[in-house]
Amino acid sequence: MVNLRNCGGKVPVLFSTQHEARYVLLEFPTWEEFKKMYAKHTSDELKGRYWNILRARVHGKTLAEAGKSYGVTRERVRQIEARFQRLVKEHYTTELEANLSMLSSNQNLVELFLKSETS
């Protein structure tokens, strides 16, 4: 499974074309970018909690470990992470589509092809 914990500090974003689906790994957003992504979705208090939970996941914490300090279940952390990945995708979709050819050759971005989807 592709998630924040096993992507080395990057955010996996599923990007699909007509012929293939792949995850593109993007840098974790800055606090300012994060606040912009969540501006219309959550309160300032929740933004801080989500930020801390997601940063814990990026730094290798399990779902349970990431949610423990906030009394959040593993399932809720998984939901927070899934929503975050959707928001990152929405935030960067235009840029990703405009630069698809660059994504294939850029040394700084790592692409993981979905073997499970083609199997």
Q: pLDDT of 36-90, one tens digit each?
A: 989 888 898 899 999 999 999 999 999 999 999 999 999 999 999 999 999 998 8
Domain count, the chain: 1
C-alpha 106/C-alpha 85 separation (Å) is 21
For the chain, the average pLDDT equals 81
Q: Name the pLDDT band for 35 (thresholds 50, 70, 90).
A: very high
Q: Is residue 5 part of a domain?
A: no
Query: Range of 102's domain?
Result: 10-118
pLDDT of residue 1: 62
CB 80 within 8 A of CB 50: yes
Percent with pLDDT over 90 in the chain: 43
**Residues facing 40 on adjacent strands:** none
Handedness of CA 51, 52, 53, 57 (dihedral sign): positive
Confidence at residue 110, expressed as pLDDT on a 0 to 100 scale: 44
- pLDDT for res 117: 37
Q: Which one is predicted more confidently, 39 or 119?
A: 39
52, part of any domain: yes
Is 4 inside any structural domain? no
